Each structure stands twice: as C-alpha cells, then as structure tokens.
Amino acid sequence: MHVIIPARYASSRLPGKPLADIAGKTMIERVYDSARTSGAERVTIATDDERIRAAAEAFGAEVCMTAAHHPSGTDRIAEAIRKLNVKADEIVVNLQGDEWAMPPRLLRRVGETLERCPEAVMATACHRIDDIDMFIDPNAARVVLDRDGYALYFSRAAIPRLRDSPADDRYVPSIAYRHVAVFAYRAGFVARFCGWGPCELERIEQLEQLRVLWHGERIAVHVTDEPPLKSIDTPEDLERARRYFSEK
C-alpha cells in the first residue's frame, strides 16, 4: 500500500494550512505521521509549493513536486503516480492533507477492503450516524450501501429519508452512514478516472466519487467504528484541533 498525501498552500478559507502549527507540529507532519503508522510500504507528499516541500523534507518525508493547476487532489495524485512510476496494480490511498487526525488503522482497512474486492475500482469508508444533527448537517456527505457493502449513492442530503417524515422529524434510520473522505484506488485506475472528467451528478453534489458510480464502476465501503475527527478547513477548525491537544 502506497499512501499519497496531496497538499497545496492555497486555500480560500485558510491559506497555508498545511504548515499551520498544531501543538508543536505542522498539520502536514501530523497527516504524514498517521500515514507512516498505518503500515504503508511507502508514503509520499504531493505538492506544488516549495514551502511545503522544504517543511516535509525537514521531517524526513518523500516529496513529489506537481503542477499548480490541478482542480482536485485526485488529479495531483495522478501526476504523482506517473512521476513515481507506481505499478498499475499497486494500491494507492489518497489521504487528504487536512486530515490531521485520521486513525492509521482506518487507512489500512480501506486499502485492505480494495485488495479483497477485485470487482471494485475504489474503496472508501463510512461510519454509522446516530445523531440527528449530523444526519441533517448540509456540510456532511452520506453514503447509502447495498447488501454487500458497495456504494449505491453519495449525497450531501440526509439519506435515506422516510418518505412521509415531517419537517421536525428527529428519526435517524439505522442504515444512515456518514462518508469518510479517504480513498483507495488501484494506481492504473486513477488516470482513467481523471480522463473521464466531472459528471453531472458530481457537479450537483460536489462529490467526485459520484463520477465512479456514474460510469458504472463499483466502490467498496469499509464501515468503521473509529471515525476521524473533523478535518481542518477553517480557522475555527484549526483552533479546535489545537484545543484537542491542549486538553489531552
């Protein structure tokens, strides 16, 4: 398993966040530490920024410099796969550079899920929702699974939803799952994925994994009881992460 961490300096809500300090370590180092602890054979940081490269190499990380124009982290990973000569059948895990608290065991489980599901081109993770506020949160992505644990659909809507439920309904279905944004692919599939370009469902939901389902491919989903803490997107998220360590 090869973990690739896409990291860019530019961010509309929190510029430079990969280098933000979290209790004495940069965010990108904490992400890297999770990947190393997962048992991955190789971990690479893919970036377009010299400041991130310098910081990553200072703590011993392998870095792959990529172009600045990539529209998504997956496109950045596709370039890194080419430059690093990753074999087509090797499993590559996309660990986003703001997932500062990703459980290492969960990374390993997602890679193992893809390995044991040869009919799937991608694997990802989810966890059970038992809180109504999480269920209706418009910023959270949900996934609906089939009986064998493959994804049927991803959405930012509260799904599955009782057809006749009232507006103030507090019921959360027992099969409601929140998606965890970590992905495993076979390296040879990533170029094909990027070559397809965004589909209409993806444009509507702003969830790129819908591109896979749109083209009739399968996504295997690992259900975890160890979800990560919230990724860092805003200054408030950063302060929450810092408090986490200070309170520990």
Q: How many other CB atoms sit within 10 Å of the CB of residue 166?
A: 8
**Which one of 102, 135, 166 terminates a domain?**
102
Residue 98 sits in the same domain as residue 195: no
Same domain membership, residue 140 and residue 95: no
The reply to whether 91 and 137 lie within a common domain is: no
Residues 6+ apart with CB under 8 A from 242: 22, 23
Structural domain total, the chain: 2
- Looking at the fold, whether 91 and 151 belong to one and the same domain comes out as no
How many Å apart are CA 23 and CA 207, to the nearest integer?
32
* Same domain flag for 96 and 5: yes
Check: CB of residue 42 under 8 Å from CB of residue 65.
no
Q: Domain containing 176 — which CATH number?
A: 3.90.550.10
Domain end (from 102, 127, 159) = 102
Residue 204 covered by a domain: yes
* In a domain? residue 242: no
Q: How many residues does the chain have?
A: 248
Six-digit token pair at 80?
């890194």
Residues 92 and 132 in one domain: no
Q: Is position 245 within any domain?
A: no
Asked if 140 and 168 sit in the same domain, the reply is: yes
**Whether the model pTM is above 0.75:** yes
190, burial (CB in 10 Å: exposed 0-12, middle 13-18, buried 19+): buried
Q: Is residue 235, in this structure, part of any structural domain at all?
A: no
Domain assignment of residue 107, yes or no: no
Question: Which amino acid belongs to residue 72?
Answer: S
86 and 151 both lie in a single domain: no
Confirm whether 52 is domain-assigned.
yes
Q: What is the pLDDT of residue 167?
A: 64
What is the predicted pLDDT for the residue at 168? 66
Per-residue model confidence as pLDDT tens for the chain (248 residues): 999 999 999 877 788 999 999 999 999 999 999 999 999 999 999 999 999 999 999 999 999 999 988 988 899 999 999 999 999 999 999 999 999 999 999 999 999 999 999 999 999 999 999 999 999 998 899 999 999 999 999 999 999 988 877 666 788 999 999 999 999 999 999 999 999 999 999 999 999 999 999 999 999 999 999 999 999 989 999 999 999 998 87
88 and 123 share one domain: no
Whether residue 4 is found in the same domain as residue 98? yes
| Residue 9 domain flag | yes
Do 2 and 85 lie in one domain? The reply is yes
Query: For residue 243, is it within any domain?
Result: no
pLDDT given for residue 14 in this prediction: 86
Residues 128, 62 share a domain: no
**Residue 133 structure tokens:** 């506020």
Question: What is the domain extent for residue 15?
Answer: 1-102
